[in-house]
Chain A
Amino acid sequence: MLSIVALPVELWMEVISHMTREDLLQLRLCSSRTLLPIINQFLFETIYISVGAEEGRRGAARMRAVSRSTIAQHVRVLVLKVVSGPFPSECLLSLLQFSLYYLQD
């Protein structure tokens, strides 16, 4: 009997395209050792790192942590999200958003 690892890559891509990133992370946690390389390949294909005025150093630290781990071998797309400093209206708007959400109910 063939194991799940023997599935062709095309089929894996089809299955994984229906899964969210969170689902994939959950699957990775409970998957066998033989399955890990395939999941890692899809999971760490794109990584997101926030950079900016305050987040810049954090982003740099995270990038260095990634480069020290095995994740770096799988990364194809590196997305750097520019985060600016604290913006007071953001809090106000998110509060308004939440209140609108509850008003709908």
Chain B
Amino acid sequence: MKTTRKINALGSSDHEFRFQSLPVALIEYLQPTVKLSTAFADFLRVTHRLTTIRLTRVRKVFWLETLPPDYPGIYSRVVLQLLDGLSRVKYIPSLITLELCHCPFVNTKDSGRVDKAIASQAIGKITRLKVHTRGTDPGYRRGYREDLLDVFKDAYHLKGLCILTNHHQTFKDFINSPTQFEHLVQVQFGLLYTEASVFGPFIAKKLPQLEMLIIGEGHVREPGSWTEVFEVWRRKKSAMIARGQPLKLVVFRIGRLYDGVAQPVSALEIVTITDQLCAVQLNVSF
């Protein structure tokens, strides 16, 4: 009786008291008190071989099953917690890939607010970024999605970038400056909307270090612009060969390229262009 009273005075119930004899890990599991960001930071401090952090949703069990309405809010809160946890760790020894799979990327009331300082600090510890999203129209209200995209755009140190989306608005003008992502080695775009005057110099600047370039569907606004884009690249390549600098590009895939007209750029034209770009035997597919 004495013990029970003592525990109650501490603000706990008898039900909780029963767990006190169990191992610490089990108590924490049954009566969780720790925040996800704290636990994640602790985990990162201990592990030394971690290479990939993947955020995904639970696999569909039944084909009729749809995502519940609160999924975007929960997902975005988990992302914020992960970024918070990453920002708390001073040093991560291994190269880390952050994969945001099935990312809703919408502004909801429950999304929470992105602290740009914390988020950029966290992204600074990531080497590769993969975002897989279906996306929707951004709407007129700025919020979680736009703030996070701004942070991604400013991550100049990234070596790998993979953006897979099927919605034209989600990553529109994601590449907006030739000086973005200075250290890129591997690039993959599912759907790319950009300007030829930006994308041409952007890719040309990365050519000496680029190992992989995949564009699923590329759109530029002006007709005939893709030829201009690759022309810039071709000139850069000639200059590199003249200097005796080796090319590193080994994977180069292009799906369809559109330049302001309804018909895609002809495959023959792409073959002609890419044939002159290849450094070694490439994996070119259409």
Contact = CB atoms under 8 A, between A and B. Distances in A.
Interface of A: 50-53, 56-68, 72-85, 87, 89-90, 93-94, 96-97
B78 A82 contact: yes
B241 interface: no
**Chief secondary structure at chain B's binding surface:** mixed
B279 interface: no
Given A63-B42, A67-B47, A97-B62, 9 more contacts: A58-B29, A61-B32, A63-B40, A64-B28, A68-B25, A73-B46, A81-B58, A84-B68, A97-B61
Interface stretch (B49-57, B163-171, B224-232): B49-57
Contacts of B68: 84-85, 87
B112 to A, nearest CB: 13
Interface of B: 25, 28-29, 32-36, 38-40, 42-43, 45-58, 61-62, 64-68, 70-71, 74-75, 78, 81-82, 102
11 contacts: A60-B40, A63-B39, A64-B42, A74-B49, A77-B51, A77-B54, A78-B53, A81-B57, A81-B58, A85-B68, A90-B65
Contacts of B33: 57
Contact of B36 (A63, A74, A77): A63
A61 B28 CA distance: 6
B50 A82 contact: no
Nearest to B42: A67
Given A51-B78, A60-B39, A67 B71 contact: no
A79 B56 contact: yes
A84 B49 contact: no
A96 B65 CA distance: 11
Given A65-B29, A73-B47, A90-B65, A79 B42 contact: no
B78 to A, nearest CB: 5
Contacts of B35: 60
A53 B70 contact: yes
Contacts of B67: 84
B58 A83 contact: yes
A62 to B, nearest CB: 6
A61 B78 contact: no
Contacts of B28: 61, 64-65
Among A50, A64, A75, max chain B CB count under 10 A is at: A64
Contact of A64 (B34, B52, B74, B102): B34
A79 B54 CA distance: 5
B34 A80 contact: no
